[in-house]
Amino acid sequence: MDICLHNKMKIENTQSQMRKGVLEYCILTLTSTGEVYASDIISHLKDAKLIVVEGTLYPLLTRLKNSGLLKYEWKESDQGPPRKYYSLTEEGQEFTNKLAETWNELKTSVNKITETK
């Protein structure tokens, strides 16, 4: 019942650290389906409860783009300003594949530990 504030903050911190690690991988995976618009990525991430607000995504997308993993193309939109549609670069594809491997390994390891507990 009464988790003290300090512990609550600690949990939140750890949670956000955990999310942070997988968020990049999730964004890359979502982008690997082809050309996607930022708010499509957002709705998926929101469904999965990985992020709460849209603002979180934009700095991430920009960083991934600038490190050469993502690229984008402008497309006219009938719902306002032109949109950026993101897709993976070749490098990004390789990167995602490697992350997928790591994730699977991690998943197995973590499952092993939590199940045998």
Partner 1 sequence: MNKIIQINLAGQAVSIDEIAYQSLSHYLQTLEQHFANMKDGKEILADIESRIAELFFGKIKKGNSFINKQDVDEAIKLMGTPEDMGIEDDEPNQQKNYTKSTAGRKLFRDTEDRVLGGVCSGLGAYLDMDTSLVRIIVVLLIIFTGIPLIAYFVLWAIVPEATTPNDRFRMQGGNTTVNDIVNNVRTEATDIARTVKNEANNVAENLKKNSNLKQSGSSVVNGLEQITRFFAKIFGAGTLIVLVIVGVALSIFLLANATGGLTLNAGDMDVVTPSILRSPTLNWIFSISLLSLVLIPIGTLCYAIILFIFNMDVRLSIKAVFLSWLLSLAIFIGISIYSAGDVNVKSFKEFGEKIRNSKFKLGDNDIYYDESYKLESDTSKQDNPNDSITTPEIKKDTSLAELQWL
Residues that bind partner 1 (CB under 8 A): 16, 20, 23, 38-39, 52-56, 58-63, 65-66, 68, 71, 73, 77, 79-84, 89-90
Can you tell me the distance from the alpha carbon of 35 to that of 1, in angstroms, rounded to the nearest whole number? 46
The nearer residue to partner 1, 53 or 113, going by C-beta atoms, is: 53
Shortest distance, position 48 Cβ to partner 1, whole Å: 16
Distances (CA, A) of 65 to 12, 24, 29, 53, 116: 28, 12, 14, 20, 40
Amino acid at 109: S
The nearer residue to partner 1, 34 or 59, going by C-beta atoms, is: 59
The nearer residue to partner 1, 14 or 16, going by C-beta atoms, is: 16
